[in-house]
Amino acid sequence: MESTSAPVPGSSPDEMFPVLTPDQQARVLAHGRSRNVESGETLVEPNAQGTKFFVVVAGKLDLLRLSDDKEDVVAVCGPGMFTGELNVLSGRRGLVRIRAAEAGEVIEIEREPLRALIQTDSELSDIFLRAFILRRLELIARGIGDLILIGSSHSLDTFRIKEFLTRNYQPYSYIDLERDAEVQDLLDRFNVAITDLPVLICRRTVVLRNPSNQEIVNCLGFNEGIDQTHIRDMIVVGAGPAGLAAAVYGASEGLDVLVIESNSPGGQAGASSKIENYLGFPTGISGQELAGNAYAQAQKFGAQVLIAKDARGLACDRRPYALKFDDGENVPARTIVIATGAQYRKLPLQNLSRFEGAGVYYGATHLESQLCRGEDVVVVGGGNSAGQAAVFLAQTARQVYMLVRSGGLAERMSRYLIRRIEESPTIQLLTNTEVISLEGNDQLERIQWRNNTSGNFETHNVGALFTMTGAIPNSSWLEGCVACDSGGFIKTGSDISNEDLSRANWPLARPPYLLETSLPGVFAVGDVRAGNVKRVASAVGEGSIAVSFVHQILSE
């Protein structure tokens, strides 16, 4: 059985398990209560919701992982140390049992007062947040959790589930059917037929056969306890960089914010191996890390996030507006920030969908690069994302063929990427070239491409194709509620013509604010917006700017 691994960046035991000073403990106590514990007393069971947080004053607490009726000690908290990891902020069910190893005294604090403390005490906020994030990374690195995924590296659904768990920072163990002899034993134990794969064993008891992301979320209880009935100040649709920025600024400025995300937090940025041009990160930052930190930050300020929940429509003919979902639910809001971004265009190839996740990928992260280590790969596209993918994959692949349909790399491509592509001995740039066909059985095995200048065809044994060929906005779910340009990108502010406004029956004397759509109080930010420059920085900037106009609308 292999564990999922993620680097724990420069963490030391002192950072993961810091000791609070008596003064810091007193500040925690002001938000909780002191209580005695008996030796052997269980304070929290795994899977308990609304996990409590404890600071040890005297004695010791064991943090225990349960596996096969056995208890393994994951960590021990002595005097001054505290329990908890990211679950404490999100309110999701905990992963470990907390038990007193000896009689002593603890400070007990509930989740809401803890959040209030984090928001007002910046010193403790830094200590707790850092420890929570590092502990979660450590749990992932050691595969400590109660999820076991059994699948095949040739399966699209196995890849989907792995990606979903990874992007949601959920620790899991993975058993590859093709590589692990013990797998049959495990399948027999849970009465699972090979045809049911991939299988996710959730919380050690529930067996999910090829579950949807929604089913995984239900089993893990991600969305439990989030009220979907009361009118929110602001609903943000999409938890990419733009949506997370709106959530952080909105929640930190006291708004009641609900974020709705159809997949996992991070959006396209989460599919990026390394973002090198985002301000403040001179050595770059992985999209996953940036998104994970932003997600924790939004929750720290009290934003709530519904995961694997797809907005299917907007009730835009009345105020308050309401988001519509598949199950017929409507969630009302005074203002809405649309941050649903864009997705990559698909290559017009007949059997493309057969190989999606089994050789055809739309992101180039650590996860994908491991699947094609030491092999030849093809990257299609001439823009920044394609360039970044080619440079990243060149570190582990044997040969990267970069296929561009036009005569060269996009003019908008960053200079640093062009230079690295030109200087890399592993990257071969093929211009005027396009993919003609894909071949393989369960997995992509061969790719044929054509040089449109010479008319020559070539077929190569390549098992991984990364396609990054321009974006389509995720705006069709709005069904005509807002004015869009000819490409479906949402128009905002002064880009909305008088004609658009009269067609939309714009009811106000003032024109739309910057980033406001043709529907008052509904904003569009990031890649889904017409005229956006498709960068993480602009998405984050727009998400934060929209919040200042939300305040104006709420006070109108």
Ligand X SMILES: Cc1cc2nc3c(=O)[nH]c(=O)nc-3n(C[C@H](O)[C@H](O)[C@H](O)COP(=O)(O)OP(=O)(O)OC[C@H]3O[C@@H](n4cnc5c(N)ncnc54)[C@H](O)[C@@H]3O)c2cc1C
By CB under 6 A, residue 262 contacts ligand X? yes
- Give how far the C-alpha of residue 471 lies from the chain's centroid of Cα atoms, to the nearest Å: 19
Q: Which of 110, 51, 105 is nearest to 77 (CA)?
A: 105
Give, in order, the Cα–Cα distances in Å from 147 to each of 94, 136, 491. 13, 15, 43
Contact in structure between 101 and 76 (CB atoms under 8 Å): yes
Which member of 81, 322, 462, 539 binds ligand X (CB under 6 A)?
539
Please give the residues from 204 up to 223 whose contact with ligand X meets the rule CB under 6 A. Answer: none
Stretch that binds ligand X, among 24-32, 82-90, 116-124, 536-544 (CB under 6 A): 536-544
Stretch that binds ligand X, among 41-49, 189-197, 269-277, 505-513 (CB under 6 A): 269-277
With respect to ligand X, which residue has the nearer C-beta, 202 or 391? 391
By CB atoms closer than 10 A (0-12, 13-18, 19+), residue 325 is: middle
The CA–CA distances, whole Å, from 440 to 255, 358, 460 equal 52, 10, 12
Per-residue binding string, ligand X, 476-505, x by CB under 6 A, is: -x----------------------------
Q: Select 259 or 438, whichever has its Cβ closest to ligand X.
A: 259
Contact pick of 46, 145, 198, 363 for ligand X (by CB under 6 A)? 363
State the minimum distance, in angstroms, from the CB of residue 24 to ligand X.
36
Shortest distance, CB of residue 395 to ligand X, whole angstroms?
Answer: 15
> How many Å apart are CA 499 and CA 394, to the nearest integer?
50
Q: How far is the CB of 172 from ligand X (least distance, A)?
A: 21
Contact 536, 269 (CB under 8 A): yes
User: Alpha-carbon distance 233 to 282, whole Å?
Assistant: 36
User: Toward ligand X, which CB reaches closer, 416 or 457?
Assistant: 416
Question: Considering the rule CB under 6 A, would residue 527 count as an interface residue with ligand X?
Answer: yes
Helix axis angle, 156-167 to 213-220, nearest 10°? 40
Residue 378, beta-bridge partner list: 401, 465
Q: Whose CA is closest to 397, among 414, 384, 379?
A: 379
Kindly identify the residues of this chain, within the stretch 42-71, that bind ligand X according to CB under 6 A: none
For residue 56, give the nearest of 35, 76, 79, 75 by alpha carbon: 79
Choose, by CB under 6 A, the member of 104, 211, 238, 383 that binds ligand X: 238
Task: Check binding of 341 to ligand X (CB under 6 A).
Answer: yes
| Binding test (CB under 6 A) with ligand X, winner from 84, 145, 198, 267 | 267
Whichever of 100 and 545 has its CB closer to ligand X, that residue is 545
At 95, give phi and psi (nearest 5°). Answer: -100, -20
Radius of gyration in angstroms for the set of CA atoms belonging to the chain, rounded to a whole number? 25
- Within 10 A of 454 (CB to CB), how many other CB atoms are there? 9
469 binds ligand X (CB under 6 A): no
What is the closest distance, in whole angstroms, from the C-beta atom of residue 38 to ligand X in the complex?
Answer: 46
Q: Which of 131, 140, 260, 413 binds ligand X (CB under 6 A)?
A: 260
Would you call 302 helix, strand, or coil by DSSP?
coil
Distances (CA, A) of 448 to 380, 433, 469, 481: 13, 10, 18, 43
Per-residue CA distances from 254 to 33, 214, 232, 319, 418 (Å): 26, 30, 12, 22, 44
Residues 161-200 interacting with ligand X (rule: CB under 6 A)? none
Q: Which stretch binds ligand X (CB under 6 A): 90-98, 160-168, 270-278, 513-521?
A: 270-278
Q: Does 550 bind ligand X (CB under 6 A)?
A: no
* CB count in 10 Å sphere of residue 346: 14
Secondary structure letter of residue 56 according to DSSP: E
Interface of this chain with ligand X, residues 507 to 526, rule: CB under 6 A? 526
- Using the rule CB under 6 A, give the single segment among 102-110, 144-152, 328-336, 384-392 that binds ligand X: 384-392
Name the residue among 427, 476, 444, 432 with its Cα closest to residue 349.
444
Q: How far is the CB of 482 from ligand X (least distance, A)?
A: 14
Give the type of residue at 283: T
Cβ-based nearer residue to ligand X, 93 or 309:
309
Residue 363 or 382 having the CB closest to ligand X: 363
Place of tokens 């894909």: 438
Residue 413 CB, shortest distance to ligand X, in Å, is 11
Total length of the chain:
556
Strand partners for 106: 35, 56
Determine, following the binding rule CB under 6 A, whether residue 271 of this chain makes contact with ligand X: yes
Q: Which is nearer to ligand X, 301 or 466 (CB)?
A: 466
Which of 81, 269, 294, 484 touches ligand X by CB under 6 A? 269
* 139 or 260: CB nearest ligand X: 260
What gap in Å lies between CA 118 and CA 300, rounded to an integer? 7
Q: How far apart are CA 137 and CA 142, in angstroms?
A: 9
Residue 430, phi then psi, degrees to nearest 5: -115, 105
Q: Least distance from C-beta 162 to ligand X, angstroms?
A: 17
Size of interface with ligand X, in residues (CB under 6 A): 40
Residue 434 Cβ vs ligand X, minimum distance, rounded to whole Å: 20
Residue 388 in contact with ligand X, rule: CB under 6 A: yes
Is residue 310 close enough to count as binding ligand X by CB under 6 A?
A: yes
Q: Which amino acid is at 223?
A: N
- Under the binding rule (CB under 6 A), the answer on residue 342 touching ligand X is yes
Least CB distance to ligand X at residue 272 (A)? 3
| 275 is an interface residue for ligand X by CB under 6 A | yes
Binding site for ligand X (CB under 6 A): 237-243, 260-263, 267-269, 271-272, 275-277, 310-311, 339-342, 363-364, 384-385, 388-389, 474, 477, 526-527, 534-537, 539
